[in-house]
């Protein structure tokens, strides 16, 4: 029996008379990295909005093994943020602004600064603390957003397409970093992504959505071509080719042979 961190019970969302999600029933296992996949318009973002209580829904979303309605601390990494490239705001300013909504006095500023620096150390970029946000790379920005999410010591971490704006080498570095943070902090992690290679190599469980639950289970169980055709058809062949996808059981082992 799994230890649940989040339980969706018959979650249904309607917007303007149009049904976006229908009878979502699923458990997010505590301490695991769960990927949420589906085509555009499948309801992935809507599900997260319901989780945060940002939109009305039918059904219930419960937390923890005792299944209460009280939300735990949640850290969120958005897909992107809009930056004014002419703004002088630094990484320090950005992180501290997310911690307070009142003027800082000296003692409070030092505490916030120390928390921000520790968060940047966790994501491996303490050296850019005083760098303007407009001067950092896309990969560094994703790490800053991850650091911001970690400042509150979350119990659940949600990432929305975290590697969509970085190159292949940056994607590998970010995913390696995420694996380490997930393991060291013992977080329950939700990863919204279209990247099959990221899911097959890093996720423990997968939830495939297309307005309802199409399939769900362990990564090896879910990521079959039959299931992916059910989720992404009729564009699955080009989708698989674009993401250089191989089934988890076809990944090469350390000695170069198929696993």
What are the φ and ψ backbone dihedral angles of 160, each rounded to 5 degrees?
Answer: -105, 105
Percentage with pLDDT > 70 across the chain: 83
Of 3-17, 27-41, 134-148, 245-259, minimum mean pLDDT range: 245-259
DSSP, residue by residue, 163-218:
TTTS-HHHHHHHHHHHHHHHHHHT-EEEEE---HHHHHHH-SEEEEESSSEEEEEE
Q: What is the model's pLDDT at position 253?
A: 40
Alpha-carbon gap, residue 7 to 60, rounded angstroms: 8
pLDDT at 1 over 70: no
* Averaged confidence pLDDT in the chain: 84
* Residue 249 buriedness (CB in 10 A; 0-12 / 13-18 / 19+): exposed
Q: All domains of the chain, ordered by start, with CATH?
A: 1-72+155-259 (3.40.50.300), 84-153 (no CATH)
Alpha-carbon gap, residue 120 to 116, rounded angstroms: 6
Q: What is the model's pLDDT at position 220?
A: 92
Please write the tens of the pLDDT for every residue from 191-246: 998 888 888 888 999 999 999 999 999 999 999 888 888 888 755 665 555 554 55
pTM (two decimals): 0.83
Q: What is the model's pLDDT at position 245?
A: 55
Contact 43, 209 (CB under 8 A): yes
Alpha-carbon gap, residue 225 to 61, rounded angstroms: 30
Q: What is the model's pLDDT at position 67?
A: 84
Can you read off the two tokens belonging to residue 161?
Answer: 């397409």
Contact 63, 5 (CB under 8 A): yes
Q: Give the alpha-carbon dihedral of 208, 224, 174, 97, to 10 degrees.
A: 0
Please write the tens of the pLDDT for every residue from 89-129: 899 988 988 786 555 555 677 888 899 999 999 999 999 99
Q: What is the model's pLDDT at position 101?
A: 59
Please write the tens of the pLDDT for every residue from 44-54: 999 999 999 99
Closest C-alpha among 252, 189, 212 to residue 13: 212
What number is the average pLDDT over the span 149-174?
Answer: 82
Q: What is the model's pLDDT at position 198?
A: 86
């Amino acid at each position: 029996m799994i230890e649940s961190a989040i339980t969706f019970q018959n979650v249904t969302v309607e917007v303007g008379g149009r049904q976006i999600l229908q009878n979502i029933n699923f458990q997010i296992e505590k301490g695991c990295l769960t990927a949420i996949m589906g085509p555009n318009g499948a309801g992935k973002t809507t599900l997260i909005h319901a989780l945060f209580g940002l939109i009305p829904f039918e059904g219930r979303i419960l937390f923890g093994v005792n299944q209460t309605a009280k939300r735990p601390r949640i850290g969120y990494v958005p897909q992107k943020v809009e930056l004014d490239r002419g703004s002088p705001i630094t990484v320090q300013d950005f992180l501290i602004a997310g911690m307070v909504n009142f003027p800082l006095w000296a003692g409070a500023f030092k505490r916030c600064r120390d928390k921000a620096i520790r968060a940047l150390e966790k994501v491996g970029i303490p050296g850019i603390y005083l760098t303007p946000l407009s001067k950092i790379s896309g990969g560094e920005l994703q790490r800053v957003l991850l650091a911001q999410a970690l400042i509150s010591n979350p119990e659940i971490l949600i990432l929305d397409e975290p590697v969509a704006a970085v190159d292949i080498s940056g994607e590998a570095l970010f995913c390696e970093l995420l694996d380490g943070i997930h393991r060291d902090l013992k977080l329950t992690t939700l990863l919204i992504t279209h990247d099959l290679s990221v899911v097959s190599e890093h996720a423990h469980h997968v939830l495939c959505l297309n307005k309802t639950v199409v399939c769900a289970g362990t990564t090896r169980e879910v990521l079959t071509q039959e299931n992916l055709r059910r989720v992404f058809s009729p564009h699955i062949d080009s989708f698989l080719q674009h993401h250089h996808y191989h089934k988890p059981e076809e990944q090469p082992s350390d000695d170069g042979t198929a696993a």
